[in-house]
């Protein structure tokens, strides 16, 4: 049974890492599931505190993943129009994978700013801010998944 759980854990970690770049897959939650599979073996036992802290990190990462592009738009001079456009663009971009998830926030912020009567140069700056925010969110997810993978491997080796 332990072997099956370890294999499932490895599959979850690989899927979690892929999910950092493929928005259809929720990367950090799937990688966390891989950690849980290892926890349920007889080889490795994590403390309840560790599992709760990691779960909190996953939840925070998921929330930030939706808001970082909007913050990028806001801090690059975007208005409420740009923020709303970024959010709508992110949602619409999910239907046009894989490039839609990258282009959606950018074009959403640009179109939102243009609808809010901003100049094209200002709208593009806001769109670039949302793109940078999206890339930062992706990097955050990737770091969390790599950490879970590292924890999984080192825990298994030291078991």
Mean of the per-residue pLDDT values for the chain? 87
Q: Residue 69's pLDDT is what?
A: 75
User: CA quadruple 145, 146, 148, 149: dihedral positive or negative?
Assistant: positive
Using omega within 30 degrees of 0 as the cis cutoff, is the peptide bond preceding 48 cis? no
Structure confidence by residue, pLDDT tens digits, 63-85: 888 788 777 777 777 777 887 88
Pair of tokens at residue 40: 């349920």
Residue with tokens 């690989």: 14
- Per-domain residue ranges for the chain? 2-157
Secondary structure of residue 66 in the 3-state scheme: helix
Arithmetic mean of pLDDT, 111-125:
86
pTM of the model: 0.79
pLDDT at 33: 97
Residue with tokens 């663009």: 89
More confident residue, 97 or 32: 32
pLDDT at residue 23 is higher than 80: no
Res 97: pLDDT: 74
């Amino acid at each position: 049974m332990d072997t099956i759980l370890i294999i499932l854990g490895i599959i979850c970690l690989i899927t979690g890492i892929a999910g950092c770049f493929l928005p259809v897959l929720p990367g950090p939650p799937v990688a966390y599931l891989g950690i849980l599979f290892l926890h349920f073996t007889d080889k490795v036992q994590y403390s309840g505190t560790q599992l709760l802290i990691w779960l909190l990190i996953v939840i925070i990462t998921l929330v930030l993943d939706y808001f970082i592009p909007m913050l990028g738009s806001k801090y690059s001079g975007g208005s409420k129009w740009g923020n709303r456009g970024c959010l709508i663009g992110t949602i619409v971009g999910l239907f046009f994978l894989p490039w839609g998830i990258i282009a959606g926030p950018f074009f959403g912020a640009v179109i939102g700013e243009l609808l809010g009567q901003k100049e094209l140069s200002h709208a593009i700056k806001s769109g670039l801010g949302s793109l940078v925010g999206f890339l930062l969110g992706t990097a955050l997810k990737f770091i969390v998944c790599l950490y879970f993978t590292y924890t999984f491997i080192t825990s298994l080796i030291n078991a």
